[in-house]
Amino acid sequence: MQRRRIIKVKDKSFTVTISERAIKRQIKRIADQINRDYEGKRPVFLAVLNGSFIFAADLLREIDLPCEISFVKLASYEGTNTTGSVREVIGLNVDITGRPVIIVEDIVDTGLTMAHMLDTLKKQNPESIDICTLLLKPSKLQVKLDIRYCCKQIPDDFVVGYGLDYDGFGRNTKDIYTII
């Protein structure tokens, strides 16, 4: 059965822009890179909740390395605009001192969330920190970030699905949808 190309999430309509197949292909591509780059290491993946929960689950199943995953929270977003405010990193229950860390994020928009996350994590002296994001809006970046792993760059449009939400809704789709 063909999946619906247009969906309504709360008061807004969205259309499919990245198919499940395309997402899976990109995840395999970056997982292969991580498997190569981290050969011989035991990385700690830190998935940023809530948006990255599906991405992290799919990514981890493509990783062949001995690794751990932990879930942290740090939100700066309400509705369809970033507020610019950042909150504390909570839920970090693994000791990352001297460990290679890979942050798993759903989407980098202004980059403020990631910058704050990096500052916080660096204080714990990890061996290294890489950023792995499903999506990146390069035109929105407000800070300089070295993003080593990125599945897909997208234009400056609001997206939902595959874990990403609009006011808490719309996470439960297999494809990614863009606002229309």
- Which of 26, 110, 120, 124 contacts ligand IMP by CB under 6 A? 110
Contact 122, 129 (CB under 8 A): yes
Closer Cβ to ligand IMP, 85 or 125, answer by number:
85
Q: Are 110 and 143 contacting, i.e. CB atoms less than 8 angstroms apart?
A: yes
Does residue 157 contact residue 179 with C-beta atoms inside 8 Å?
A: yes
By CB under 6 A, what part of segment 50-89 binds ligand IMP?
A: 51, 76-77, 82
Residue 165 CB, shortest distance to ligand IMP, in Å, is 6
Please identify every residue annotated as catalytic: 109
- Residue spans of beta strands (DSSP E) within 83-157: 100-108, 128-136, 149-153
Q: Which one of 1-9, 64-72, 93-101, 160-168 is the stretch in contact with ligand IMP (CB under 6 A)?
A: 160-168
Rule CB under 6 A: which of 26-55 touch ligand IMP? 51
Q: Token pair for residue 176?
A: 């990614």
Given candidates 54, 96, 108, 147, which one binds ligand IMP under the rule CB under 6 A? 108
Residue 105: CB minimum distance to ligand IMP, A: 6
In degrees, rounded to 5, the angle at the alpha carbon of residue 59 between the alpha carbons of residues 31 and 49 is 135
Give Dmax over CA atoms of the chain in angstroms. 50
Q: How far apart are CA 94 and CA 96, in angstroms?
A: 6
Kindly indicate which of the ranges 12-20, 23-31, 90-98, 110-118 contains the residues binding ligand IMP, using the contact rule CB under 6 A: 110-118
Positions touching ligand IMP (CB under 6 A) are 51, 76-77, 82, 105-113, 158-160, 164-165
